Copies of this chain bind each other. A is one copy, B any other.
Amino acid sequence: MSTTNSLDVLIQALRRLPGVGVKSAQRMAFHLLQHDREGALALSRALSEAVGTVHHCARCHTFTEAEVCSTCLDPERDATRLCVVETPADQSAMERTGAFKGLYFVLMGRLSPLDGVGPKDIGLQKLMERATGGEVQEVILATNFNAEGEATAHVISEALKSRGVHVTRLARGVPVGSELEYVDLGTIAHALVDRR
């Protein structure tokens, strides 16, 4: 694109962002340098700041700047229920429902043998220790409802059940507000099996 080395380096660096190809990276670099140099510097600072200060909560593995995150430290939360989610974004979605007052364990990923993500990468051992520590009475699996999320839930469920832990899974069913005609058949079939 250019005769400048710094610009090429910037474009290559932007391509490391997920979902950003060479055209998008060029467009981003061009936009920042032409119209928003302040934004470029703000992003530069935010990146180095976040890399320097953000790490994982010692108890639930979510991102935090403290040793233990504020959710884990909250004395109001019900420590007998432990909700297992894949990412901090999933945790955030659960929180926004306002329907769960227990604690979390964030896998920071999902089992994906083809990508080389095994039980160790999602902290399975630590989850086992936490779930069998005596305080937790129920583990609620809230991994995603796609193939990898279901496989992850299955593996965790088997491991926990063999240790006598009470394990539940979020209900599969017809989304609120939807019309049957437009719901996919697999969902309807599952909703029929799980009818109550």
Binding site for B on A (CB under 8 A): 1-7, 9-10, 12-14, 16-19, 24, 26-34, 36-37, 39-54, 62-66, 69-71, 87-89, 92, 108-109
**CB contact under 8 A between A63 and B28, given known A6-B50, A9-B49, A48-B44:** no
Chain B residues, Cβ within 8 Å of A1: 88-89, 92
| Copy total for this chain | 2
A54/B24 in contact, CB under 8 A: no
Question: From A33, which residue of chain B is reached at the shortest CB distance?
Answer: B54
B16/A36 in contact, CB under 8 A: yes
Chain B residues, Cβ within 8 Å of A33: 50-51, 54, 63
A24/B19 in contact, CB under 8 A: yes
B63/A9 in contact, CB under 8 A: no
- Can you list 10 A-B contacts (CB < 8 A)? A3-B71, A13-B42, A16-B39, A17-B31, A19-B27, A32-B50, A32-B51, A37-B51, A40-B47, A44-B47
